[in-house]
Amino acid sequence: MGESLVVVLGHAGYYPRFGFRRASGFGIRASFDVPDEALMALPLDDSPAVPEGVIRYPAAFGV
């Protein structure tokens, strides 16, 4: 589908087994308070440029 990155907010002990790493290491953060170890990212290709910035959830999530 052309996506190059997946970002998840989840359990710090679960997602790393699939290759996820702290999103902060990629320059990615949430628009709300979240523990650094809970926001993780996984690049899907070998592209050297991972998008940086702030993750914003839709209003329906209430955050």
One DSSP character per residue, 30-58 reads ESS---GGGEEEEE-S--S-PPPEEE---
Question: Residue 18 carries which side chain, given as an amino acid letter?
Answer: F
- Mean per-residue pLDDT for 8-26? 95
Identify the H or E element spanning 24. Answer: none
Query: What tens digit of pLDDT does each residue of 26-46 get?
Result: 999 999 999 999 999 999 887
Q: What percent of the chain has pLDDT over 90?
A: 70
Q: Write down the residue that tokens 């209003």 correspond to.
A: 59
d(CA 29, CA 53): 6
